Amino acid sequence: MKIGTLTLPLWYNYGGIIQAYALQRILADLGHEASLIDFHHPIPSSLQLLRNKMVRGVKKYLFQNGNAVIYPDYHQRKIISKHTLEFIKKEIQPITDKVYSYDELKKIETDFEAFIVGSDQVWRPNYTPNIRNYFLDFTDKTKIAYAASLGTDVWQYSDDQHEICKSLIQKFRAVSVREKSALSICKDKFGVEAIQVLDPTMLLTQNDYLKLCEKYDTPQNTGNLFTYILDESDRNKEIVNRVSRVLNLKAFRVMPKPFDEHFRKDDAAYVFPPLTQWLKAFDDAEFIVADSFHGCVFAIIFNKPFIAIGNKVRGLTRFQSLLEMFNLSDRLILSPDDLSEYLINTPIDWSSVNAILDTNKNNSLEFLKTNLE
């Protein structure tokens, strides 16, 4: 079957890229012709870029203590995503030409027999170019949601979005979600029954990812405490330092210099390292500290002890649901006060974790097989 997969726009988010790669790999293994729909926010005009630059200036003035977060614009994203875009180009194939609108989605709709939306936070309205498109409003063909995530258990839809998306989701052949909290939301808000499945990255194996690293001759990282921290803060630094001291491990990162107003296009420090360097970090590490959902996922895949740092603003339900599934809820902390030497040194029962992973992997694959017949 020819399937179009739709996920959030791919740039430099390691987790977002690798889950898209994994889903496409799995669909191919199941005998389907899957293509990633390369959907993006519209390219901003020169006037919009100028307006964004002015907003940055205002933020810099108002938040002179450094609390303002500055995001790269379209052209800057292309520069800092050099390596990750190369991975997408080479490894997530086939992929459509870039698509920016409903009309362009309608044009490519004839190329496919079915569509899958997912995984990642595809049903979080403020993360998408257009939330209706992520409920596949552009087609009447077979529609499936695989491990779709709302990102949070807090309802974020406007009344209009709710009405439209509720109507659209009821036309799906099958709905699966990533977080347990989304099951009740689908039933209570959208009027559909959903099942919980694994993030697509967990349908592949540690060996699959190591083969990718070998393919690109990925060098070993320097250090043995991998810290995948998206929110740089004094709180998170304290947690990392404490784990490092207790275990006598050397912390290392696979991240660029945080984007700021000093960005220069010729400064390689701002460029995200290759995705395989990030994957290799999970193999090189003896312990992992992460405030990222996919950081926790890959710690589990690679059977590495870890601490998960929760962030209420980003949404805790993603962490809670994942860790609860594997009986690892105690690995989630919210502050340095929650971190003890006992927790750091407590071993994880990987035989039990892997048994749970195998069971859920079989159920997740069965969901795809059954609904793509």
**For the segment 235-292, what is each residue's pLDDT rounded down to a tens digit?**
999 999 999 999 999 999 999 999 998 999 999 999 999 999 999 999 999 999 999 9
* Integer angstrom CA distances of residue 212 from 191, 201, 256, 282, 348: 41, 13, 21, 13, 27
Order of strands across the sheet that contains 287-290: 251-252, 225-228, 287-290, 306-309, 332-333
Position 52 scores a pLDDT of 64
Position 312 scores a pLDDT of 78
CA angle at 209 for the pair 204 and 211, rounded to the nearest 5°: 120
Write out pLDDT tens, residues 300-342. Answer: 999 999 999 998 777 899 999 999 999 999 999 999 999 999 9
Q: What percent of the chain has pLDDT over 90?
A: 89
Residue carrying structure tokens 């694959």: 365
Spatial distance between the Cα atoms of 148 and 163, rounded to a whole number of angstroms: 19
Minimum mean pLDDT range among 77-81, 112-116, 259-263: 259-263
**pLDDT exceeds cutoff 90 at 50:** no
Q: Which residues pair with 142 in a beta bridge?
A: 114
Contact 14/76 with Cβ under 8 angstroms? no
Minimum mean pLDDT range among 54-68, 147-161, 310-324, 344-358: 54-68
Spatial distance between the Cα atoms of 34 and 27, rounded to a whole number of angstroms: 6
**pLDDT exceeds cutoff 70 at 62:** no
**pLDDT exceeds cutoff 60 at 64:** no
Place 55 in a pLDDT band, splitting at 50, 70 and 90. low
Q: Which residues pair with 307 in a beta bridge?
A: 289
Position 294 scores a pLDDT of 97
- DSSP 3-state assignment of 360? helix
Q: What percent of the chain has pLDDT over 70?
A: 95
Position 313 scores a pLDDT of 77
> How many alpha carbons fall within 13 Å on the CB side of residue 334?
8
Position 61 scores a pLDDT of 60
Write out pLDDT tens, residues 121-141. Answer: 999 999 999 999 999 999 999
Spatial distance between the Cα atoms of 357 and 85, rounded to a whole number of angstroms: 30
Position 315 scores a pLDDT of 83
Write out pLDDT tens, residues 177-199. Answer: 999 999 999 999 999 999 999 99
> How many alpha carbons fall within 13 Å on the CB side of residue 148?
30
326 closest CA partner among 346, 297, 294, 302: 297
Order of strands across the sheet that contains 114-117: 33-36, 2-6, 114-117, 142-148, 174-177, 195-196
**pLDDT exceeds cutoff 80 at 54:** no
Alpha helices, H only, the chain:
14-29, 46-62, 74-80, 82-91, 102-108, 159-169, 181-185, 206-215, 234-247, 275-284, 293-301, 317-325, 341-345, 350-371
- Average pLDDT taken over every residue of the chain: 94
Position 311 scores a pLDDT of 82
CA angle at 275 for the pair 86 and 364, rounded to the nearest 5°: 105
Q: Which two tokens stand for residue 130?
A: 């257009």
Q: Which domains does the chain possess?
A: 2-43+75-202+358-371 (3.40.50.11720), 216-356 (3.40.50)
φ, ψ of residue 66 in degrees (nearest 5): 90, 15
